[in-house]
């Protein structure tokens, strides 16, 4: 459903590479039913296994075979609770309703799916509806179900070798805060480092190289050393009991003046001094199946911004396309470079991507975020960066309507 989800194929591949037969049990099957060619089962994580079998329904336990015919693990079969078809009907219809912004109806379908089979995927889908409705406490509790079906989150725990923080008293403890989702999500959650420190925790940050310099403004960036607990950045919203009216204020990231000066010299020109500079981002770096539809055609965005502007790309991808349309692309070393350039823009216009969170975190006051008709709960009522202007599509695929709502048209420049 979101940019943090993986496809079923990726999940199964990750499990195959991580599990040695009989070393570790795979997700148990909690419901199964016969089909015309064998049977299908529903796992605790929400995967549906279609099995062609001449031996009928399984009992007790099944061996899972890999593509090479070798056994890779085993699944326990719990006492059968029929209802796979009904579970799928409610789940799939709930997803369709959510994409159509019929959120309350979607929540009812997800509730029905969870009542049939309390899978982690059904609870996660329910969390998206709850969050969209502003029910953050219940929503973030269900949002934690992602730990049960996203392999990379399990791998974080194995890599850290320390327990995951689940809300225990952390006064006097060392907490390793780990990047666990998209770049934008982590940038959004860096505001909580001072909150954790005020609770008495010694916080260190384990970040990807792209975020190291930017994150260093709020905490110590290191990937090794002893710690008492680790915590994924997005889990802080649940563990710190966040509600829309209790978000720590932005801006919370300082901009390195040395880097800013470097970028000021880089973009300086006689022409640029006469033009209004706009930083833009129009596409996502990595498309994920089931994600919110976020990318806007660059030509449409450029056309709406007018000719009396100097457009600078705030994203690393799409340089060739940008050059054809007169957008100036840059070679960023990391997000610290992106933040420095963003600070030099008169205006920022971006889709829902990391550039939007960069603009918010540094407090850029003339920022517009263009949203699809079906958009993330992160931007519902915009509690994270309340001054940012949001412009949502009035109907699916209607970017012209979103641009009009934003007041972005050549005649308005």
**Which element (helix H / strand E) includes 65?**
strand 61-65
pLDDT tens, 64-73?
777 676 777 7
**CB contact at 8 A, 348 and 354:** no
The tens place of each residue's pLDDT in the chain, 413 residues long, gives 444 433 333 333 333 333 344 446 788 888 888 888 888 888 888 888 888 876 777 777 777 777 676 777 778 877 666 688 899 999 999 999 999 999 999 999 999 999 998 999 999 999 999 999 999 999 999 999 999 888 888 888 888 889 999 999 999 999 999 999 999 999 999 999 999 999 999 999 999 999 999 999 998 887 556 899 999 999 999 999 999 999 999 999 999 999 999 999 999 976 655 679 999 999 987 777 777 899 999 999 999 998 778 999 999 999 999 999 999 999 999 999 999 999 999 999 999 999 999 999 999 999 999 999 999 999 998 999 999 999 999 999 999 999 999 998 644 44
Can you give the pLDDT at residue 224?
58
**CB contact at 8 A, 279 and 314:** yes
CA–CA separation, 357 vs 363, rounded Å?
A: 10
**CB contact at 8 A, 33 and 88:** no
Q: What is the 3-state secondary structure (H, E, C) of 307-371?
A: CCEEEEECCCCCHHHHHHCCCECCCCCCHHHHHHHHHCCCEEEEECCHHHHHHHHHCCCCEEEEE
CA–CA separation, 370 vs 390, rounded Å?
A: 6
Number of other residues whose CB lies within 10 A of the CB of residue 279: 28
Residues contacting residue 210 through CB under 8 Å, at least 6 positions apart: 183, 334, 335
CA–CA separation, 88 vs 116, rounded Å?
A: 10
Residue-wise burial string across 316-338, b where 16 or more C-beta atoms lie within 10 A, e elsewhere? bebeebbeeeebbbbebebbbbb
Every domain of the chain and the residues it spans: 1-132, 162-239, 257-412
Instruction: Output the pTM of the full model.
Output: 0.84
pLDDT tens, 133-150?
999 999 999 999 999 888
Is it true that domain 257-412 has CATH number 3.40.50.2000? yes
Pairing of strands 71-76, 61-65: antiparallel
Can you give the pLDDT at residue 73?
79
Distance of CA 399 to the CA centre of its chain: 22
State whether residue 255 is helix, strand or coil: coil
Q: Which residues lie across from 76 on neighbouring strands?
A: 61
CA–CA separation, 337 vs 214, rounded Å?
A: 9
Pairing of strands 29-34, 38-43: antiparallel
Q: What are 390's two structure tokens?
A: 């949001």
Number of other residues whose CB lies within 10 A of the CB of residue 129: 26
């Amino acid at each position: 459903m979101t940019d943090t989800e993986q496809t079923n194929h990726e999940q199964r591949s990750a499990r195959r590479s991580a599990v040695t037969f009989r070393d570790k049990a795979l997700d148990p099957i909690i419901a199964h039913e016969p089909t015309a060619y064998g049977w299908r089962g529903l796992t605790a994580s929400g995967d549906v296994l279609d099995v062609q079998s001449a031996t009928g329904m399984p009992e007790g336990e099944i061996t899972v075979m890999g593509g090479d015919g070798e056994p890779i693990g085993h699944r326990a079969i719990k006492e059968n609770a029929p209802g796979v078809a009904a579970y799928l009907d409610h789940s799939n219809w709930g997803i369709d309703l959510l994409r159509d912004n019929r959120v309350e109806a979607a929540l009812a379908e997800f509730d029905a799916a969870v009542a049939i089979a309390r899978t982690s995927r059904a609870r996660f889908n329910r969390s998206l509806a709850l969050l969209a409705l502003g029910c953050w406490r219940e929503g973030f509790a269900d949002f934690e179900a992602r730990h049960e079906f996203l392999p990379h989150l399990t791998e974080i725990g194995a890599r850290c070798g320390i327990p995951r923080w689940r809300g225990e008293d952390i006064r006097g403890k060392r907490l390793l805060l780990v990047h666990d989702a998209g770049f934008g999500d982590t940038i959004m959650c860096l505001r909580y480092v001072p909150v954790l420190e005020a609770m008495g925790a010694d916080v260190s940050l384990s970040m990807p190289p792209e975020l190291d310099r930017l994150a260093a403004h709020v905490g110590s960036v290191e990937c090794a050393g002893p710690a008492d607990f680790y915590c994924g950045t997005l889990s802080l919203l649940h563990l710190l009991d966040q509600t829309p009216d209790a978000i720590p204020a932005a801006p919370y990231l300082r901009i390195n003046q040395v880097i800013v000066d470097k970028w000021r010299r880089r973009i300086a020109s006689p022409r640029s001094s006469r033009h209004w500079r706009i930083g833009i981002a129009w596409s996502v770096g990595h498309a994920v199946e089931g994600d919110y539809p976020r990318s806007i055609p660059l030509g449409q965005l450029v056309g709406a911004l007018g000719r009396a502007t100097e457009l600078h790309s705030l994203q690393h991808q799409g340089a060739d396309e940008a050059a054809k349309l007169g957008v100036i692309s840059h070679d960023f070393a990391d997000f610290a470079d992106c933040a420095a350039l963003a600070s030099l823009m008169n205006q920022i216009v971006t889709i829902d991507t990391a550039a939007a969170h960069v603009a918010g975190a540094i407090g850029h006051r003339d920022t517009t975020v263009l949203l699809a008709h079906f958009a993330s709960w992160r931007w519902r009522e915009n509690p994270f960066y309340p001054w940012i202007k949001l412009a949502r599509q009035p109907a699916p695929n209607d970017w012209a309507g979103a641009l009009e709502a934003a007041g972005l048209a050549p005649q308005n420049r």
